[in-house]
Structure 1
Amino acid sequence: MNDAQDVLTGLDPEQRAVAEAVRGPVCVLAGAGTGKTRAITHRIAYAVRSGVVDAQSVLAVTFTTRAAGELRLRLRALGAPGVQARTFHAAALRQLTYFWPRVIGGAVPSVIESKLPVLGEACRRLGVTADRAKLRDLASEVEWAKVTQISPEDYEEAKEKYHRTPPVKPEEMARVYDAYEQIRRERHLVDFETILELTAAVMTEHQEVAAQIRQQYRYFVVDEYQDVNPLQKMLLDTWLGGRDDLCVVGDPNQTIYSFTGASPHYLTGFGAQYPNAAVIKLVRDYRSTPQVVDLANLVIAKGRSPHRLELVAQRPDGPKPQFREYDDEPGEAADVARGIRKLLDKGVPAREIAVLFRVNSQSEAYEKALSDAKIHYVLRGAERFFERPEVRHAVVLLRGAARSAAGEPLASEVHNILSSAGLTPAPPGGGKEREKWESLKALADLAEDMAAEGADLPAFVAELERRASEQHAPPVEGVTLASLHAAKGLEWDAVFLVGVTDGMLPIIYAETPEQIEEERRLLYVGVTRAREHLSISWALSRAPGGRKSRRPSRFLDGLTGRASAPPRLAPGTRERRQVAAPVSCRVCAKTLVNATEQKLGRCSTCPADYDEALLERLKAWRTATAKEAKVPPYVIFTDVTLQAIAERAPATEQELLAIAGVGRVKIDRYGDAVLALCRT
């Protein structure tokens, strides 16, 4: 392309408005499937091609290495190959590494890829018992504290302010956090949060460094701006240095990472920070059928957000979303497998089908059901493809073989090498071995695709190294099993949203109005992953013959009838409508508004009369139950809920159910055990 105007060809009116808004500040509110990446890459390319800015002066920031790689590929195709597209961490580390010898001196610190080993040592120093699951929870809490700029000495106070529920006692959490930081400094290590912190500090304390970086980067674009956290915002403001040539892109409907410290307020409040900003909305949905878009709009419209975007479908009509109810989880999983088999028989590729759930522990039933149905699947988790041990080992073997390649056909040569690493003709049953097999099979399939294009083994290894640098994992021919969080940013022809019950979506420990609304947005994200086929299902009990005490998610109230008639409900099952009744103090009868007081059923100043021994028994039971389930104790019951149970000592299921924080799902799981403890 030689003419800058060519870059604007094929854009819809709103996308073109984004592309032509070449000077900041610009805020793009982009709904799911509306072509936001297309809009911002064309904006950058148009600005470069029309001479508004040099390509080397642009810094496009996103949240994943894969997304940054995608931006670079598109910009190269549009004639803007010199643009820097990086994650916050990659951009900051590059700058910090460059300036470290000049302004600090000595060796550049090593980067911690995982906090778990350092946290493990911190726990051992303090005598804190922590298995791998608890270490992961501790790491998440440390990351939250660091991105929100909370020091170890301020943690306990901040925990109350932000309503955090740490995996250990607050004072213990603060000590672990402090020990982690001490060990990190002793070992001359930096984690991802420290990289951002130090980069901002170096720029603030050394004006010559700030001047050089600001001279280099004059034009900023930030994708997924609803997911920016306070630390990232601080670094971005430091980069800008009071300038406003900034374009941000995000979707308030897809804010699902607040628990990590991300804040949508930077996106929704962009106009307040920059009163002269251009605000452009992208609402034409090119991904999903009108039936899917209509359901997505209904899900989000029932929420509280004043910033929601209403999508306008651009695709032809498709099938109506299906709503299905089952007696138990195995029955739900088996029928989902049957539904997937029907789609496969109709020609829908397995890689274009996904089963999405709220938490990873739900995947087991679907792994079994798909294995029983002889349907290939792949588990999509948090671990990056090229960081998996089996993939690293395979790449080492392939790299070694490429040095002495004998000219054999690429596909057969790769298959032979991967066979020695564990690739078998048929997949194993499930679990970790299945994940390993799927990884190796993905490499073998990529080799077959490249063999068809005439590639040899050295070219294949070079392609793997390029993909590894950009975290561009090869596609896997199998049905995707993934959590809703892991599914964000992806899309499939057919999506099965499973286990959509109260207690799971919204998750049982989402208690505040803000947390509930984030769970609603999580369902919205799940719905908008589907291009054409969408099924939403739930089971009334966990196991066959179990008590059918579960209920479909409150987020589906009033929606199932509009989208499609649900299948036959169990006898006596009716649509549920919940209206929250006011809660009064059981001591002084005052209306309670504080969430903690409502849960206790009394004012915090009113006297409490309870059996301390019962409270200790409840806590001991909770600890053992959480350990067995490999979840944090607060997932079972929070401290406040245990306190309320101890104060009221319920004797019946109805009395236990009357305590805030004890819903039907928890009655089903823990009711008998709790009542037995109360009778002891």
Structure 2
Amino acid sequence: MLAESVLAGLDPDQRAVAEAVQGPVCVLAGAGTGKTRAITHRIAYATLTGVVTPQRVLAVTFTTRAAGELRSRLRALGAPGVQARTFHAAALRQLTYFWPRVVGGQPPKIIDSKIGLVADAARACRLSYGRTELRDIAGEIEWSKVTQNRPEDYGAAVAKAARKPSVDIIDVARVYAMYEQLRRERNLLDFEGMLELTAAVLTEHREVANQVREQYRYFVVDEFQDVNPLQKMLLDTWLGDRDDLCVVGDPNQTIYSFTGASPSHLLDFTRDHPDATVVRLVRDYRSTPQVVRLANGVIGAARRSAAQSPGDRTPGGHSLELVAQRPDGPDPVFNEYDDEVAEADDAARRARKLIDDGVPAREIAILYRINAQSETYEAALSAVGVPYVLRGAERFFERPEVREAVVRLRGSARAGADAETDGTGLIMTVRHVLSGAGFSDRPPEGAGAARARWESLAALAQLAEDMAADDPKAGLPEFVAELEERAAAQHAPPLEGVTLASLHAAKGLEWDAVFIVGLAEGTLPIIYAETPAQIEEERRLLYVGVTRARVHVTLSWALSRSPGGARRRRPSRFLDGLTGKTTTHTPAPVDRKKRRAGKGPQPCRVCGRPLTAAVERKLGRCEDCPSELNEELLIALREWRAEAAAEQKIPTYVVFTDATLQAIAEHAPESVEELARIPGVSKVKLDRYGETVLTLCGA
């Protein structure tokens, strides 16, 4: 009877997932279709019907927050013993347990970041890089390791994958080799090495593999479209020759291919498991029909493209068309602006109006393609008095004020501070303890550190109110336990502020109102996306952004970067056929304090950050900052460079590097003097190529 109750309330497709408790199962789950509900009910139903015991289940996901959410839901469904972990957490647990038996000695230390070791490796190779370049090299090393490419294979792998690293390929390979040498000498292990070593231990030690496979007999893997080859290798090692595997994913949300993730594991699941049960979840319970219609329109172009390519194995050929389940809501809004400042100012005003109309600030998000776009929106929101939260910044539970508050709350719980047992008692006790850390009923004026500290403490006070509403008998010990569990899972409470986040960081989240900004060619799709596969991944990024919205969605773009600039930008190609009537807005400017120019390295002309990397100094901006680029000029310059290089029988980069060509296309110089000011245009090159380049710029 209890098992049957787990199936109650599921729609027919979700129930089909829950009842498919044996053998290989593939769940293709669209955004907002209740995939977490379906797979947790499936696990609970399998344990309650005796198919498997909870301790034999391993549910794998990609974030500690998602793992914590799975555990919480499974406890509520009567399956508290299920292990829900990330790939890395599961591997570390196994490696730590078996290390003394199969290896012995001091286990290697896990490093959280590669940057320090990459810097040491670069110095050992007599190479000097800024932090941006070191970060890029670390990313290339990570990509190489998850795709199982060694240093000596890196160059060929980059060419095959059509990657364009910002640092010379030969130098990256040298630093990668030295990185691995130093890592071994210092007995260090990075996250990729941890997965690889765990798989190696299971492969080389039969008794270890048997013990792990006896412990875990039933596997569920969420977000399967984001699994990389290294994670797939470890999963196959865990499975052995068994097939009790349920994978869940959405081809439409494949947006991490640049990190080594491969949707082929999801798309080819039925090829690898011909007898697999396949269930599609398409009923969207999150968004209004208007939002769903827009989302289907965005991704529909990918379906049309795939239909023209028989046998297509890209995500577009396997996309899901969502069916809305909610009542009607407002139509999507499309806005065009003269410049980015006007775009940000109007988004801030609209957010202010939503808040005044009753939408909580924490239920509003402004999403953009690259993090460098956030500064303009931070200024605009501050100017109209709207609090905001930067997603991807410092982790909530690592903030000093939060750590202090948790210590105070823990101490009060041990001292038996809450004599009351009703919800009001918990709320008052928590607010009293937080007052000792600086919390008050009214927020401080303005923005800045004081306001950020208050908002952190206010989030804890709000969490106490939410807990008291759910369980009026909850006391301070239960609240502290909830905080500690959230801290372990990095499951931060929602802060009372508009969320500013990149489209990548927004995946897995949802809000009542979403503004997707900067939808211009060169920003979305990003200028670096050149191949058809890269362009389609950018389209899916927009789809992810749209499907974050429950009710309100606004899409906007600006025709120039700064006020008074040339209006050369074009709306994103992904908006073709979707915009309907578009309004051009020129809102009144918002008064702001002028920024003072500081001394030091050359600043980015977009965000003002000091430029240290050579390629950034050449461009005059951060690599990921939006640029005002004449795309036709860049194409013409590249074609001319190829002809000049072929005629002189020299590599193209000897004529001009890609970065220099891009800088020329961004500045579009009109005189010899302007061209000479662009880094990378030496006097020799100016004499040799200047006249031709200026002719192309004039054309």
- TM bracket, shorter-chain basis: 0.7 to 0.9
Q: Which of 473, 480, 487 is the equivalent residue of 1:468?
A: 487
Give 3-state SS (helix, strand or coil) of 2:81's partner.
coil
Q: What residue number does 1:518 align with?
A: 537
Distance verdict in 2 for CA 1:435–1:109, change over 3 Å: farther
Q: Distance in 1 between matches of 2:430 and 2:463?
A: 9
* Paired amino acid for 1:74: R
The answer to whether the 8 A contact 2:443-2:454 is kept is: no
1:91 Cα deviation (Å)?
0.7
1:198 Cα deviation (Å)?
0.7
Say which is worse superposed, 509-518 or 464-473, in terms of deviation.
464-473
Q: Distance in 2 between matches of 1:634 and 1:361?
A: 11
Cα deviation, 1:243-291, whole Å, max 9, x if unaligned, reads 1110000000000000000000000110100011111100000111111
1:69 aligns with 2:89: no
Give 3-state SS (helix, strand or coil) of 1:533's partner.
strand
* Paired amino acid for 1:13: P
* Paired amino acid for 2:34: G
Q: Which of 311, 324, 327 is the equivalent residue of 2:322?
A: 311
Q: What residue number does 2:571 align with?
A: 552
Distance verdict in 2 for CA 1:16–1:499, change over 3 Å: same
1:350 aligns with 2:361: yes
Give 3-state SS (helix, strand or coil) of 2:529's partner.
coil
Say which is worse superposed, 342-351 or 260-269, in terms of deviation.
342-351
The answer to whether the 8 A contact 1:641-1:661 is kept is: no
Say which is worse superposed, 188-197 or 130-139, in terms of deviation.
130-139
- Matches for 1:398-477 after TM superposition, within 5 Å: 399=410, 410-419=429-438, 425-426=443-444, 429=447, 438-447=455-464, 459-477=478-496
Q: What residue number does 1:119 align with?
A: 118
Q: What residue number does 2:188 align with?
A: 189
Q: Distance in 1 between matches of 2:168 and 2:363?
A: 44
Q: What residue number does 2:273 align with?
A: 274
Say which is worse superposed, 110-119 or 388-397, in terms of deviation.
388-397
* Paired amino acid for 1:472: H
The answer to whether the 8 A contact 1:133-1:631 is kept is: no
Q: What residue number does 1:43 align with?
A: 42
The answer to whether the 8 A contact 1:550-1:665 is kept is: no
- The alignment's TM-score, normalised by the length of structure 2, stands at 0.82
Give 3-state SS (helix, strand or coil) of 1:18's partner.
helix
Any stretches of 5+ residues in structure 1 without a counterpart?
571-619, 650-658
1:624 aligns with 2:621: no
* Paired amino acid for 1:84: Q
Q: Distance in 1 between matches of 2:378 and 2:356?
A: 20
Q: Distance in 2 between matches of 1:640 and 1:156?
A: 26
The answer to whether the 8 A contact 1:116-1:136 is kept is: yes
Q: What residue number does 2:387 align with?
A: 376
The answer to whether the 8 A contact 2:509-2:548 is kept is: yes
1:130 Cα deviation (Å)?
2.7
- Matches for 1:42-191 after TM superposition, within 5 Å: 42-191=41-190
The answer to whether the 8 A contact 1:134-1:632 is kept is: no
Cα deviation, 1:323-381, whole Å, max 9, x if unaligned, reads 00011111111111111122112211111111111011111111111111111111111
Q: CA RMSD in A?
A: 3.3
Cα deviation, 1:129-162, whole Å, max 9, x if unaligned, reads 2333323222211111110011112112211111
Q: What residue number does 1:21 align with?
A: 20
Q: Distance in 2 between matches of 1:635 and 1:543?
A: 10
1:198 aligns with 2:214: no
Q: What residue number does 1:504 align with?
A: 523
Give 3-state SS (helix, strand or coil) of 2:37's partner.
helix
Q: Distance in 2 between matches of 1:77 and 1:670?
A: 59
1:671 aligns with 2:668: yes
- Matches for 1:207-286 after TM superposition, within 5 Å: 207-286=206-285
Say which is worse superposed, 448-457 or 153-162, in terms of deviation.
448-457
* Paired amino acid for 2:377: Y
The answer to whether the 8 A contact 2:618-2:663 is kept is: no
The answer to whether the 8 A contact 2:434-2:457 is kept is: no
Q: What residue number does 2:604 align with?
A: none
The answer to whether the 8 A contact 1:45-1:80 is kept is: yes
Distance verdict in 2 for CA 1:332–1:138, change over 3 Å: same
The answer to whether the 8 A contact 1:224-1:251 is kept is: yes
The answer to whether the 8 A contact 1:423-1:437 is kept is: no
1:123 Cα deviation (Å)?
2.4
Cα deviation, 1:232-251, whole Å, max 9, x if unaligned, reads 00000000102111000000
* Paired amino acid for 2:386: I
1:471 Cα deviation (Å)?
1.6
Give 3-state SS (helix, strand or coil) of 1:68's partner.
helix
Q: Distance in 2 between matches of 1:642 and 1:206?
A: 57
Give 3-state SS (helix, strand or coil) of 1:281's partner.
strand
* Paired amino acid for 2:622: A
Q: Distance in 2 between matches of 1:635 and 1:49?
A: 59
The answer to whether the 8 A contact 1:506-1:516 is kept is: yes
The answer to whether the 8 A contact 2:110-2:190 is kept is: yes
Q: What residue number does 1:580 align with?
A: none
Distance verdict in 2 for CA 1:623–1:113, change over 3 Å: closer
Cα deviation, 1:66-99, whole Å, max 9, x if unaligned, reads 0001001111111111111110111111111111
The answer to whether the 8 A contact 2:337-2:584 is kept is: no
Q: Distance in 1 between matches of 2:508 and 2:124?
A: 40
Q: Percent identity?
A: 65
Any stretches of 5+ residues in structure 2 without a counterpart?
306-315, 420-427, 587-612, 645-655, 692-699
Distance verdict in 2 for CA 1:427–1:243, change over 3 Å: farther
* Paired amino acid for 2:298: V
1:521 Cα deviation (Å)?
0.1
The answer to whether the 8 A contact 2:431-2:461 is kept is: no
Distance verdict in 2 for CA 1:458–1:35, change over 3 Å: closer
Cα deviation, 1:631-672, whole Å, max 9, x if unaligned, reads 5999999999986564578xxxxxxxxx9999x997773323
Q: Which of 353, 356, 359 is the equivalent residue of 2:370?
A: 359
Distance verdict in 2 for CA 1:434–1:483, change over 3 Å: farther
Q: Distance in 1 between matches of 2:409 and 2:445?
A: 21
- Matches for 1:590-629 after TM superposition, within 5 Å: 622-626=615-619, 628-629=621-622
Q: Distance in 2 between matches of 1:185 and 1:299?
A: 47
Q: What residue number does 1:299 align with?
A: 298
Distance verdict in 2 for CA 1:155–1:397, change over 3 Å: farther
Q: What residue number does 1:566 align with?
A: 582
